[in-house]
Amino acid sequence: MNSWVYEKAYKVNAYKYLTQEKKEFILSKQVIRSGTSIGANIAEANGAISPAEFSAKISIAYKECLESKYWLSL
């Protein structure tokens, strides 16, 4: 699958940084949950059977990005 968005979803190293270097486990769980959901929704969007389904899944991925940004700002 050749999608720059999909590839970027794999480059999240924040979880390792938070748990191994900072010993922070509560926020790291939230980051990993919302952060991994981004890639999952992009993968689902790539398999969409209609433009509406594609749009819905990409919108969910975008919302997960916003949530991840929130957790990282904390």
Predicted local distance difference test score (pLDDT) of residue 51: 95
- pTM for the structure as a whole: 0.69
C-alpha 11: how far from chain center: 10
Which has more pLDDT, 14 or 29? Answer: 29
**Which one-letter amino acid corresponds to residue 63?**
K
- The dihedral region occupied by 24, where left means phi > 0, alpha psi between -120 and 50, and beta the remainder, is beta
pLDDT attached to residue 54: 95
